[in-house]
Amino acid sequence: MASPSPSSSSSARWSYDVFLSFRGEDTRKTFTSHLYEVLKDRGIKTFQDEKRLEYGATIPEELSKAIEESQFAIVVFSKNYATSRWCLNELVKIMECKTQFRQTVIPIFYDVDPSHVRNQKESFAKAFEEHETKYKDDAEGIQRWRIALNAAANLKGSCDNRDKSDADCIRQIVGQISSKLCKISLSYLQNIVGIDTHLKKIESLLEIGINDVRVVGICGMGGVGKTTIARAMFDTLLVRRDSSYQFDGACFLEDIKENKGRINSLQNTLLSKLLREKAEYNNKEDGKHQMASRLRSKKVLIVLDDIDDKDHYLEYLAGDLDWFGNGSRIIVTTRDKHLIEKFGIHLVTALTGHEAIQLFNQYAFGKEVSDEHFKKLSLEVVKYAKGLPLALRVLGSSLRNRGITVWKSAIEQMKNNPNSKIVENLKISYDGLEPIQQEMFLDIACFFRGKEKGAIMQVLKSCDCGAEYGLDVLIERSLVFITKYSKIEMHDLIQEMGRYIVNLQKNLGECSRLWLTKDFEEMMINNTGTMAMEAIWVSTYSTLRISNEAMKNMKRLRILYIDNWTWSSDGSYITHDGSIEYLSNNLRWFVLPGYPRESLPSTFEPKMLVHLKLSGNSLRYLWMETKHLPSLRRIDLSRSKRLMRTPDFTGMPNLEYLDLTWCSNLEEVHHSLGCCRKLIRLDLYNCKSLMRFPCVNVESLEYLGLEYCDSLEKFPEIHRRMKPEIQIHMGDSGIRELPSSYFQYQTHITKLDLSGIRNLVALPSSICRLKSLVRLNVWGCPKLESLPEEIGDLDNLEELDAKCTLISRPPSSIVRLNKLKILSFSSFGYDGVHFEFPPVAEGLHSLEHLDLSYCNLIDGGLPEDIGSLSSLKELCLDGNNFEHLPRSIAQLGALQILDLSDCKRLTQLPELHPGLNVLHVDCHMALKFFRDLVTKRKKLQRVGLDDAHNDSIYNLFAHALFQNISSLRHDIFASDSLSESVFSIVHPWKKIPSWFHHQGRDSSVSANLPKNWYIPDKFLGFAVCYSGRLIDSTAELISVCDDVISWMTQKLALSNHSEWDTESNIHFFLVPLAVLWDTSKANGKTPNDYGLIRLFFSGEVKKYGLRLLYKEDPEVEALLQMRKNNNEPIEHSTRIRRIRYNNSEHDFMINEASCSSGKKQKSHF
């Protein structure tokens, strides 16, 4: 927000609001004096000739100039007005200015009849008789008087006091002028970009109609337009004529913060304006008392602009709401949100892109810019300003009337040297901070902008700056803000201001922070490090030289962070080529990948160190002796390929995170690890040489990573009760058995992940004591042959994943797991070993997902009572060898998805519950039972197909599918299955079948419909085909009328599954007209009134096809006849029935032509 741009204004020529013309002897001490005082009290600048001798005919030049420079002229006609040549000549001048300068003239008829003035009767006639006698030589002048009187008396807006009191007449005239003046004064608002939105929001907070005292704050960063908005709101409220908007007094106190130490003067100004009398109180306590006592019965409007808390302005200018009368409203503008947090707050943010361009153009060009070169350069400036009105105004004004060359030079300069006017304005917020908060702000501006709040708070806390409170202050002062992703952010120009402050220090030789690699390199080369240096945070891809001499001089260095992503051929970091013999003991945050020495300097005693990261280093050990590091919370020594042992942890009682991943030569972890009672995460991933691990005696531990620890055969002993949510990862480790002590102490844990332990043969029976266990994962334990017999004792178990194991017979007690929702098995199996699942009639009442894929199930492997699983929603039986399924499978009333793909020996599609939504089968079975699938399965939406992936299979299946749909199209669309939904196929085809006539590439299926496309009783619906990624389960079908007057929209529920969500899949579905057409919305139209069909997808569609289907289709009939003439059977399975599979290679033959299927994929109807 910004004040309006400089422009010529008619108001600029007026020196006065009102000129008063009157006959002194008639009204000077009565009506006119009262009128003048009221005008003055209302702030209307009025010219009244105090001397007003009214002698002679010629009015003085001073008076004539005052008339010309007054926007309004009030002429008080009284009985003796016409007796004065002075008054008459004054009137002539006024009427001339009315014509010449478009001034407004308001006549007041004070105890005279307007017609007497208009026609010069009664006292006016008598006066003119005397003038004509006395000045008979000046007939022309007398005529001008008559014309002026006649014209003035005929003006609208006059006031006649004969039928009202003087007070009413004065009130009418002053109100009339005030209203017109306010409307004129508010005309500047039209040039303030975006002001209307702000005014509406603030007025809603003010709630003028409520008879209480209310304070509203306008808050935002410096230069964002708070004062402009407050002034606009103030002026707007004063213009309103409604009684609720009438205030007894109003005052706008501007730039309060600039009046440091002058609170008493501000109080006097406020009281003087509100009470309309001079206030001269000598101290702020007297002023405070007078405000509290003298304003409590007055309804006032006050704006306190640019307040901060250093001098307690609010306390002395608006300390209590009881100071003011009911209906009073106080508006406060501030950069500090904390000052007004108990009031309604309107937060002002930077302008949007369009608004920013509009404001900049006002100042840079005074209008919209048409020149393309300037347009392009303007966008660069606007981008730099990031919507800050102050910056847009300053930069626009500085570039106004400049040439292209100057613009380019100025833009280049502002990127390297910020504009001083902008910086100084923004720096006010910085100057108002406490020293420790200033340091925190500079750290964020130089290093931490855009970084995650939690991580940065750890850095700031390490610097003893009261981080939590300090950040709140910075947020309240509008210097920083937190994004919805919990990142610390600030305006570009605020950051620029912070870095400008640091660069000023650099120019003085006292630089405190470095963030540019080139500055760091220069300091190292020239050995210019000083005691003033506090923080270094640089990122680089190049090798850095670190000077030991430069490091020695930086004894106050608290942050050293060198982020380097250069790697050597052996996978280690390359950071620098020099040795480091000195490190500041003041370090709190130390990050230096590729540290070059075998150990840290013996003199390094960083007692305040919080974070240590030396990944990819040359360390053999950190240090030999025990260090006292009470503040250390995080150690990262990952990829320390030479590290053989960890340090002694005795002096690190607050350590929370220890990262030793990829330390391939690490053989042992120091036994003192148990002293770290606050340890949360310990990660030893891929420590291939680790053989000894101390007893885990830490209650706080949440994560223990032991994956790929090849040499670790024994799981560490645990002698304390851990957190229920602890995660222990042992995948691909050398562990052979789990200690019973682990389960003895961990009976309360809820998740147990034992996946990927390649040498694990059995689970101890004590695992069944984990009564709180909810999830158990033994996936990928290739030697695990069985589950404990007591597995059914895990009363709260909800998920069990035993895929990729050797388990072939789950214990019978598994059926007692009545809270189990997800159960998965798949066996590597031995030849001749078949999986058998126990009877389930007595349990598994909550089971929703059962995965027995590739378990080598044969007939009898599934329990005959499987139909008793009343909650089962998804059953995966793919890749098994049964020929028949239990009949009770038809009793699975909750079943929605059934996967029977790659079940090569299955000869018959089982009877299924009619509520099934998705069936996953092989191509030949899908075609064989096509009629049954699409006409009898009322809720079936998709059928999954096993792989038919190469071109030969694709062409054969596409053709066969077309025949089946064509032959059965009437039955399909007439069936109940398509009465309210669509039937769809998803298949890994490579292209859209050719029989889809309308094809294209877009995010929606779209086709112009032919004239009279809808034939009653013959049109069936639409066949639609598309490829791409389906994001969610809905698509929107829209029919658009030719005249674009009406349309019909219908949501189509498409069944969705992650397996089908691949870009290579082709989605095919049938949409009957009944799904689209809603007679209640037709408004007398027929389908033929609609000429376009469009289908929108919630996903990324690559290509599409569409075909209209009819009962009688010549193209279809011709194709069917051709096949009949060639004696080719038109049965539902066609030649697909002759597919046979080779079990070992997963290849299959069609009419003795071999086609490799490649990697198994699934596709779905």
Q: How confident is the model at residue 866 (pLDDT cuts 50, 70, 90)?
A: very high
Task: Pick the most confident of 10-14, 24-28, 348-352, 821-825.
Answer: 821-825
Q: What is the mean pLDDT of residues 906-925?
A: 78
Q: What is the mean pLDDT of residues 614-643?
A: 92
What tokens were used for 819?
């809270």
Per residue in 878-890, pLDDT tens?
Answer: 889 999 999 999 9
Whether the pLDDT of residue 267 is over 70: the answer is: yes
Q: How many CB atoms lie within 10 A of CB 214?
A: 18
Is the domain defined by 196-347 classed in CATH 3.40.50.300? yes
List Cβ neighbours of 90 (8 Å cut-off, separation of 6 or more).
Answer: 21, 59, 63, 67
Whether the pLDDT of residue 112 is over 60: the answer is: yes
Q: At what angle do helices 492-507 and 420-431 cross, to 10 degrees?
A: 90
Q: Tell me what pLDDT residue 561 has.
A: 92
By residue count, the chain amounts to: 1165
Q: Give the residue numbers marked as catalytic.
A: 90
Give me the residue spans of the domains in the chain: 16-182, 196-347, 353-417, 422-504, 826-947, 954-967+979-1118
> What are the angstrom distances between the C-alpha of 1065 and each of 342, 815, 1164?
58, 38, 9
Residue 29, Cα to own-chain centre: how many angstroms?
A: 67
Whether the pLDDT of residue 13 is over 70: the answer is: no
Contact 111, 79 (CB under 8 A): yes
Question: Between 1165 and 142, where is the model more confident?
Answer: 142
**Distance of alpha carbon 275 from alpha carbon 296, whole angstroms:** 12
The secondary structure of residue 564, as a DSSP letter, is E
**Distance of alpha carbon 259 from alpha carbon 266, whole angstroms:** 8
Whether the pLDDT of residue 1005 is over 90: the answer is: no
Whether the pLDDT of residue 1037 is over 80: the answer is: no
Q: How confident is the model at residue 1098 (pLDDT cuts 50, 70, 90)?
A: low
Contact 222, 428 (CB under 8 A): yes
Pick from 25-29, 289-293, 561-565, 599-603: least confident: 561-565
Q: What is the mean pLDDT of residues 500-523?
A: 85
Q: What is the mean pLDDT of residues 196-224?
A: 92
| CATH fold match for the domains 16-182 and 196-347 | yes
Q: Tell me what pLDDT residue 369 has.
A: 75
**Distance of alpha carbon 743 from alpha carbon 722, whole angstroms:** 11
Classify domain 353-417 by CATH architecture: Orthogonal Bundle (1.10)
Classify domain 422-504 by CATH architecture: Orthogonal Bundle (1.10)
Task: Pick the most confident of 614-623, 690-699, 984-993.
Answer: 614-623
Q: How many CA atoms lie within 13 A of 601 on its CB side?
A: 14
Q: How many CB atoms lie within 10 A of CB 577?
A: 11
Domain 16-182's class?
alpha beta
Q: Tell me what pLDDT residue 826 has.
A: 84
Per residue in 400-438, pLDDT tens?
Answer: 888 888 888 888 888 778 888 888 888 888 888 899 999
Q: How many CB atoms lie within 10 A of CB 4?
A: 19
| Burial classification of residue 331, based on how many CB atoms lie within 10 Å of its CB (0-12 exposed, 13-18 middle, 19 or more buried) | buried
Whether the pLDDT of residue 214 is over 90: the answer is: yes
Q: What angle do CA 507, 509, 512 make, to 5 degrees?
A: 95
Question: Between 841 and 1052, where is the model more confident?
Answer: 841
Whether the pLDDT of residue 549 is over 80: the answer is: yes
Nearest-CA neighbor of 457 among 654, 469, 842?
469
Q: What angle do CA 340, 345, 347 make, to 5 degrees?
A: 115
Per residue in 562-584, pLDDT tens?
Answer: 887 554 444 444 455 556 788 99
Per residue in 703-718, pLDDT tens?
Answer: 889 999 989 888 877 7
List Cβ neighbours of 785 (8 Å cut-off, separation of 6 or more).
Answer: 761, 762, 805, 806, 807, 808
Q: What is the mean pLDDT of residues 221-249?
A: 84
Nearest-CA neighbor of 576 among 635, 617, 636?
617
Dihedral angle sign, alpha carbons of residues 571, 576, 582, 583: negative
Domain spanning 826-947: CATH superfamily: Ribonuclease Inhibitor (3.80.10.10)
Q: How confident is the model at residue 736 (pLDDT cuts 50, 70, 90)?
A: confident
Query: What percent of the chain is predicted at pLDDT more than 90?
Result: 33
Q: Tell me what pLDDT residue 796 has.
A: 94
Q: What is the mean pLDDT of residues 1074-1101?
A: 71
pTM: 0.63
Where in 48-197 does DSSP place strands (E)? 70-77, 104-109, 159-160
Pick from 102-116, 596-610, 1117-1131: least confident: 1117-1131
Nearest-CA neighbor of 905 among 668, 649, 1140, 670?
1140
Q: How confident is the model at residue 172 (pLDDT cuts 50, 70, 90)?
A: confident
Give residue 65's identity as a one-letter amino acid code. Answer: K
Question: Between 1140 and 449, where is the model more confident?
Answer: 449
| φ/ψ (deg, to 5) at 1084 | 85, -5
**Distance of alpha carbon 488 from alpha carbon 491, whole angstroms:** 11
Q: How many CB atoms lie within 10 A of CB 380?
A: 15
Whether the pLDDT of residue 1035 is over 70: the answer is: no
| Burial classification of residue 895, based on how many CB atoms lie within 10 Å of its CB (0-12 exposed, 13-18 middle, 19 or more buried) | buried
**DSSP states of 712-724 as a string?**
--BPPPB-S---T
Dihedral angle sign, alpha carbons of residues 1071, 1075, 1081, 1087: positive
Q: For the chain, give me the number of helices (H) and strands (E)?
A: 30, 42
Q: How confident is the model at residue 1 (pLDDT cuts 50, 70, 90)?
A: low
Q: How many CB atoms lie within 10 A of CB 532?
A: 16
**Distance of alpha carbon 495 from alpha carbon 557, whole angstroms:** 22
Contacts 24+ apart (CB under 8 A), 37-43: 38/170, 38/171, 38/174, 39/174, 39/177, 41/276, 42/174, 42/178
Q: Tell me what pLDDT residue 55 has.
A: 55
**Distance of alpha carbon 943 from alpha carbon 935, whole angstroms:** 13
Pick from 407-416, 518-527, 853-862, 1043-1052: least confident: 1043-1052
What tokens were used for 1?
């927000």
Structure-token match 């340890």, residue found? 679
Q: How many CA atoms lie within 13 A of 298 on its CB side?
A: 20
List Cβ neighbours of 219 (8 Å cut-off, separation of 6 or more).
Answer: 226, 333, 334, 335, 336, 337, 340, 345, 346, 347, 348, 478
Q: How confident is the model at residue 1150 (pLDDT cuts 50, 70, 90)?
A: very low
pLDDT mean across residues, the chain: 80
Q: How many CB atoms lie within 10 A of CB 901?
A: 26
> What are the angstrom distances between the C-alpha of 473 and each of 348, 430, 880?
18, 11, 66
Whether the pLDDT of residue 50 is over 50: the answer is: yes
Nearest-CA neighbor of 640 among 672, 676, 595, 605?
595
Contact 596, 626 (CB under 8 A): no
Q: How confident is the model at residue 837 (pLDDT cuts 50, 70, 90)?
A: very high
From the options 3.30.70, 2.40.420, 2.20.28, 2.60.120, give the CATH code of 954-967+979-1118: 2.60.120
